[in-house]
Structure 1
């Protein structure tokens, strides 16, 4: 064996650990691992006489969907595109955006929006499909209150962190997959001939010759709806842990689907109960319902956490308005966004109340994930092109995945009238919000004017700082600036300082915050505009780092004092300050839409939507992690198109 091969094996072994595999099983595969509960109920209707061509064709389609979509696309190819260990559609976007035009953000926005839409439908359908297993003993049981109670509990506990519950995720899910595989094998053992479906010819013949067989792909697609989570959760568990875990997961899934197929063929007719519960032995039926419910809760929990992470990335990339973000636990990457939590809960409960049964929810399920997967395919192709991969690999891979996913998309379009329109509206609404927010921020930036510091403005600033007859406003005055250049500053900041009442400070700070493409960057660079008078700080934060600017300022000031770059006692009054750095104030300047604007209808409409969205976002002190006691808010009018053509007539 070559030295390179031995080194690769040792590296792979060091990255794969039992604990990592356990966590991966608990966090990553919950969504795809609970799909056997409802996939077949979407394909085989109650009372339907089972046709062997359909049963074997469906099983073959599922096996090869799991192979092509999940194994080849996500496990083998997409997981290669890691951003310093992080995955997900927004991480993928940050890897390629420097190589392509601004249009590429549309793919990321569409993919991210419809993935969040998936987070709205997955918890209701998963929990409902598990709870409905009780209908074997209670045929007329109203499961809606039970499902809503579980969902409310699930969302309420988010604010306390999931580190305690997270410890049982792995063991419970391993038990779930083992149970699923064992009962699947038990049912399969009565008819091993269904394994003929491993041959893709059965899938091909089914799609080609079975009446309306192609349109059943919308139900088949449900078996792989959790594949996108594999990539999104890579940063939590590691690429190789996911790959090793998938071997066990895929075997369990195929055994479950094969066992359900064997039961359908032997029973000859589908009934009102999911085929999954029909293969569960009666002595352990109730424990099986309890275990499946726990598995769906865990799957929902993982997806909710994934939505928080996705929203956090969108916020840091400037694609979504800021919301309050809380870090409830000590686990890296664990966060809680109250606005998203309660909005998701309301949406999930609405889905339950509207559809009422999991079989009806299946009509709305799958369409949004198909659009997300298509977006990921486009982005991963662009990623491979940017890394100069061989066209001999890129072209056939692209054709294969686009063919499969466009086929699924066409089949899922049938679901629009059956409830899929809800997911389309949700995904489209989220996409529109992201696009309008990005456009609005971009427009604001374009209208921002700048002035040079040298020579006049800096001289005025230093003169104001040393003016003995002017009352001191604060020891330190900090402005958050959008200017990336130390030599230039926004006119609105100059107006804030030099407009009466003058803001005299001993030391002025201008913080520029830039979000990097790496997830956990935390760096800063100092430019001295005038020693002991004015400093420009370029603060670089990774897109997953909370912007605690108040804390960062104090640390930076203390480091400068310690290094002697900032003389704390060069002013008489600072000698008596109890605070090590002295008092400080942040000036937060935000815009409002001026009445001086003269805008066309469409532009006025979009701008007003932007400001309404801005009103729902957190205030700037929460945005930048500032202590409210140290913040002063100011507003300035923003004029997009001035109404200069208006002429007033003077009457004599």
Structure 2
């Protein structure tokens, strides 16, 4: 067996896994995208010209937005293997050409785009599974009362299995999605060859003529056309799970052909039978295949939800590490892949929101009005950040940036304008959800800055403290004490409290600061920096990337070559437990201070987050007024 065979096998497994995780969302859009154009709240008549115009719009949207923008270009914006809007934000923010104000603008854009992705993560599972189960009504109206209960049961099952891990879910779902895309293509081509004039939609003139003939109504329909693109952002967010090459192979090899053929098949059906506009997807199937197709569609839409769920996990971990979200419990579900994680609090919070949407909206058509606005804003922000990245980081000439990226931005803005018209019919929900997440993220980030300022104000300069220690008046006891501190220049409050109450210092004292860099991972050679302060005091800085999980005891083991050899059973970690009090002092609005206090109370314990053995920890409380 050649040495390249294992690599090929690994690539094939990753490609199949990507089908099961990355492409579920965009792969199930044929269930509802074309239907909403011709039977939704802003439906347009299914005349031959309109059908060819809409199919042409869908085809060229898939080619330009997904294929050229995301698969070809955005996947190049890989932050050391990681993707997603926060990874892109960090990549752009690293560049110092922006200045301080420009850097904060980049961070603000990235955070708002990330916040909106959470709104998308709530709607995608609800609309996908609902649209599949509604196929039962096509077979017989007797199922109508049971659509919502069946949908709720399926969604509960999906979120329950998340604890088994993205890799296992992706591998088991991958073959199902292979079958799904094959079925999409077969259903489409069988119908399309019976009405071959549908292939005239490949010519973009039909898309242009559609707007010329329908004017404002045609622009409104563009909001429904956009439904064929939902999932593009999840494609980028999940890059860290599978890599760019498997994602590209899956797109060109199976996903794009399958969904394009299906859309053309639905268009051919509407050309031959305009009355099929109520549900052109399910009417593609012969009568005997309807129930099996509903079952396969339901499986596929469950998988569609997986793309967004796993993307939300990745986004949350990045937000925690970059300091925009409180510490949460992150469970690694694979010993081999760093990207395979499960976050219980995010999982159950999403489930509650998704169930509420299903019950509140009741049908996929009602949810379609809420779907799209958050995704379009995120796509606009991605295009803006990509423009800055290409010009400032990749050093592309300005003219090249304008020619290659600005057209994508203009298309995204057109889709945003069309979807903005749906805000009053449900589009407000993802905006409200995104605004709420944005407030939480910015409040946490500002609150941490304020807390660090307050703690620094009350801290003792390290040089003055060391001068007092050197006179020998403080009793030193055997062992090593590690004090975690975010202020490397001051004396940690925990050290002063320990000295005040226990009247002793350990013979070796380590002042440890954990730093998170704006890169996904830090090389092991750059992990730690050790400074010998004197009098057996050491200052240690441990650096991590925003995709890494801190492990303080493991990192301290890397200090041995620098003359700091710690015996695990002779080392005590001192952690602070701050009691925060909201005050009228300048800093933040009182309501934001109270919100920050509540977020702090519910954050995961530092001991667990930094993987410090519980039996080696001493926690000392302190009260801080914000």
The answer on 1:458 being equivalent to 2:456 is no
- What does 1:604-615 align with in structure 2 at a 5 Å threshold? 604-615=590-601
Q: Deviations over 1:130-175 (max 9, x none)?
A: 1111122331322111111111111111123244333222221111
Q: Deviations over 1:381-413 (max 9, x none)?
A: 110111210112111334312221111111111
- What does 1:386-465 align with in structure 2 at a 5 Å threshold? 386=392, 387-449=394-456, 451-454=460-463, 456-461=464-469
Partner of 2:286: 281
Q: Deviations over 1:216-235 (max 9, x none)?
A: 11100011111112211222
Partner of 2:574: 587
Equivalent pair of 1:466/1:506 in contact (CA under 8 Å):
no
Q: Distance in 2 between matches of 1:381 and 1:125?
A: 32
Change (3 A) 1:567 1:159: closer
Question: How far has the Cα of 1:628 moved from its partner?
Answer: 3.2
Q: Distance in 2 between matches of 1:178 and 1:464?
A: 79
Partner of 1:621: 607
Change (3 A) 1:624 1:564: closer
The answer on 1:354 being equivalent to 2:360 is yes
Question: How far has the Cα of 1:638 moved from its partner?
Answer: 3.0
The answer on 1:507 being equivalent to 2:508 is yes
Change (3 A) 1:198 1:503: farther
The answer on 1:549 being equivalent to 2:556 is no
Partner of 1:121: 123
Q: Deviations over 1:539-588 (max 9, x none)?
A: 111211111224444x34xx63xx693578xxxxxxxxxxx543333222
Equivalent pair of 2:166/2:310 in contact (CA under 8 Å):
no
Question: How far has the Cα of 1:187 moved from its partner?
Answer: 0.9
Change (3 A) 1:535 1:369: same
- What does 1:34-53 align with in structure 2 at a 5 Å threshold? 34-45=28-39, 50-53=46-49
Change (3 A) 1:494 1:275: same
Q: Distance in 1 between matches of 2:448 and 2:585?
A: 17
The answer on 1:84 being equivalent to 2:80 is yes
Q: Distance in 2 between matches of 1:465 and 1:210?
A: 88
Partner of 1:467: 475
Equivalent pair of 2:166/2:341 in contact (CA under 8 Å):
no
Partner of 1:164: 168
TM-score (norm. length: structure 1): 0.87
Q: Deviations over 1:481-535 (max 9, x none)?
A: 1135xxx23453553343233342232121111112332325112222347x322
The answer on 1:30 being equivalent to 2:2 is no
1:129 is paired with a residue of what secondary structure? helix
- What does 1:62-211 align with in structure 2 at a 5 Å threshold? 62-99=58-95, 100=98, 101-141=103-143, 142-211=146-215
Q: Distance in 2 between matches of 1:378 and 1:87?
A: 16
RMSD: 2.5
Number of aligned residue pairs: give it: 602
- Which stretches in structure 1 are left out of the alignment for 5+ residues? 1-9, 569-579, 641-652
Equivalent pair of 2:17/2:167 in contact (CA under 8 Å):
no
Q: Distance in 2 between matches of 1:598 and 1:98?
A: 35
Q: Distance in 1 between matches of 2:69 and 2:168?
A: 33
Question: How far has the Cα of 1:28 moved from its partner?
Answer: 1.7
Q: Distance in 1 between matches of 2:283 and 2:18?
A: 29
Q: Distance in 1 between matches of 2:166 and 2:396?
A: 40
Q: Which has the larger radius of gyration?
A: 1
Question: For structure 1, which segment, 325-334 or 426-435, has the greater mean C-alpha deviation from structure 2 after superposition?
Answer: 325-334
Partner of 1:217: 222
TM-score (norm. length: structure 2): 0.90
1:324 is paired with a residue of what secondary structure? coil
1:528 is paired with a residue of what secondary structure? strand
Equivalent pair of 1:476/1:582 in contact (CA under 8 Å):
no
Q: Distance in 2 between matches of 1:160 and 1:453?
A: 48
Change (3 A) 1:459 1:49: closer
2:475 is paired with a residue of what secondary structure? coil
The answer on 1:518 being equivalent to 2:505 is no
Partner of 1:381: 387
The answer on 1:20 being equivalent to 2:29 is no
Q: Deviations over 1:173-200 (max 9, x none)?
A: 1111111011100010111111111111
The answer on 1:335 being equivalent to 2:333 is no
Change (3 A) 1:461 1:551: farther
2:519 is paired with a residue of what secondary structure? coil
Equivalent pair of 1:15/1:241 in contact (CA under 8 Å):
no
Question: How far has the Cα of 1:355 moved from its partner?
Answer: 0.8
Question: How far has the Cα of 1:22 moved from its partner?
Answer: 2.1
- Which stretches in structure 2 are left out of the alignment for 5+ residues? none
1:270 is paired with a residue of what secondary structure? helix
Equivalent pair of 2:486/2:513 in contact (CA under 8 Å):
yes
Change (3 A) 1:564 1:20: closer
The answer on 1:529 being equivalent to 2:537 is no
The answer on 1:266 being equivalent to 2:278 is no
Q: Distance in 2 between matches of 1:418 and 1:434?
A: 27
Question: How far has the Cα of 1:285 moved from its partner?
Answer: 2.2
Question: For structure 1, which segment, 308-317 or 127-136, has the greater mean C-alpha deviation from structure 2 after superposition?
Answer: 127-136
Of 524, 542, 545, which aligns to 1:539? 542
Question: How far has the Cα of 1:208 moved from its partner?
Answer: 2.4
Equivalent pair of 2:28/2:128 in contact (CA under 8 Å):
yes
Q: Deviations over 1:395-437 (max 9, x none)?
A: 1334312221111111111211111111111011111111111
Equivalent pair of 1:448/1:490 in contact (CA under 8 Å):
no
Q: Distance in 2 between matches of 1:49 and 1:95?
A: 46
Equivalent pair of 2:516/2:545 in contact (CA under 8 Å):
yes
Question: For structure 1, which segment, 501-510 or 372-381, has the greater mean C-alpha deviation from structure 2 after superposition?
Answer: 501-510
